[in-house]
């Protein structure tokens, strides 16, 4: 009488692909739980809070869309905040992107000292913004700051009072932000440049193309995916600028540097208008979403993913 073969263990009957999928989800589970508790729940809660009038001390009072109506129609300060944020974004992002590309082109060589210079330009990225802003406050000091000292030496009799005038306060914040961000964008552009095949440049040189022609017809088109990524992350980050403004100017002078996130922080934690602050935060979310969506739509016209 032949014996019936024993059934293989249950684990052996599960295909390898399914076991790997389950293991992958188990590894992701802690992060997913953290996202649900600290991000998804907070987003839903902020949407509910934006429909209330709440000062953190008393019970929330439901007001519907009154906060949104007020900030879009009856709040001139919010319009100032929007203008300041867009001013910062549409000046700092092009300047930072252009400087980062120029530095990446400069450092995309095999010289021995180039890695040292790359590290020097990347150092501000890993430095806390609060520390950087405190240092730049000294640079911008009108009496003993290094910037005005250099301007005096160059013959400028009346250098600007950088942080105390409406004309120069926002450019000062932009200078700091560009200086801190340019190293990060430079590294991304370097990665994009090193992914371009050198054979294309060699073939173009053989055909008689000059340096500018190679840059315009090879480098720029093949860098468009990298440029698109840099623009997306830079614009999203610029729309959320806060810590540099808080340390450098505290939103002044005369609200000249008050940005959306600074406005949210002040309304929520200074004036205790949590419902109003949550409504402003959702307006910011809609702005970021629409700007990113517009960039994604327009990238089909100028981004080239194939050589």
Tokens of 18: 């399914």
SS3 content of the chain, % helix, strand, coil (to 5): 70, 0, 25
Q: What gap in Å lies between CA 123 and CA 244, rounded to an integer?
A: 17
Q: Do you find a cis peptide bond into 100, omega within 30 degrees of 0?
A: no
Q: What is the pLDDT of residue 4?
A: 57
Measured at the CA of 228, the angle between CA 225 and CA 234, to 5 degrees, comes to 140
Q: In 10 A of CB 264, how many CB atoms?
A: 21
> Global pTM?
0.86
10-residue mean pLDDT profile of the chain (307 residues): values are: 55 72 90 90 93 92 94 91 95 96 87 78 89 92 90 89 93 95 93 90 89 90 93 94 93 93 95 95 94 91 78
Lookup result for tokens 């340390």? 247
Lookup result for tokens 């994009």? 192
Residue pair 137/130 in contact by the 8 Å Cβ criterion: no
Q: Which domains does the chain possess?
A: 13-49 (no CATH), 69-302 (1.10.3720.10)
Q: What is the pLDDT of residue 144?
A: 86
Measured at the CA of 233, the angle between CA 229 and CA 236, to 5 degrees, comes to 140
Q: In 10 A of CB 109, how many CB atoms?
A: 8
Helices (H) and strands (E) in the chain, counts: 15, 2
Q: What is the pLDDT of residue 6?
A: 56
8: region left, alpha or beta (phi > 0 left; psi from -120 to 50 alpha)? beta
Q: What is the pLDDT of residue 17?
A: 75
């Amino acid at each position: 009488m032949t014996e019936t073969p024993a059934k293989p263990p249950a684990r052996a009957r599960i295909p390898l692909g399914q076991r790997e999928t389950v293991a992958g989800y188990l590894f992701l589970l802690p992060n997913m739980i953290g996202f649900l508790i600290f991000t998804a729940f907070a987003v839903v809660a902020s949407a509910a809070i934006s429909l209330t009038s709440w000062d953190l001390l008393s019970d929330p009072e439901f007001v519907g869309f009154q906060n949104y109506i007020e900030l879009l129609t009856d709040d001139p300060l919010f319009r100032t905040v929007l203008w300041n944020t867009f001013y910062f974004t549409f000046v700092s992002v092009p300047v930072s992107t252009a400087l980062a590309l120029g530095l990446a082109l400069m450092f995309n060589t095999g010289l021995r000292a180039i890695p040292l210079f790359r590290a020097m330009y990347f150092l501000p990225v890993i430095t806390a913004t609060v520390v950087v802003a405190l240092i730049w406050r000294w640079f911008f000091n009108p009496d003993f700051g290094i910037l005005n000292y250099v301007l005096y030496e160059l013959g400028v009799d009346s250098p600007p009072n950088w942080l105390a005038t409406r004309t120069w306060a926002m450019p000062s914040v932009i200078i700091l932000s560009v200086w801190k961000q340019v190293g990060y964008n430079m590294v991304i552009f370097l990665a994009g440049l090193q992914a371009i095949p050198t054979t294309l440049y060699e073939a173009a040189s053989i055909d008689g193309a000059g340096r500018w022609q190679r840059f315009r017809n090879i480098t720029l088109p093949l860098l468009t995916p990298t440029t698109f990524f840099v623009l997306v992350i830079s614009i999203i980050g610029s729309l959320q600028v806060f810590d540099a403004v808080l340390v450098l100017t505290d939103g002044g002078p005369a609200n000249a540097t008050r940005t959306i996130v600074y406005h949210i922080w002040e309304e929520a934690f200074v004036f205790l208008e949590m419902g109003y602050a949550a409504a402003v935060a959702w307006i910011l979310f809609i702005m970021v979403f629409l700007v990113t969506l517009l960039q994604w739509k327009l990238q089909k016209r100028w981004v080239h993913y194939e050589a």
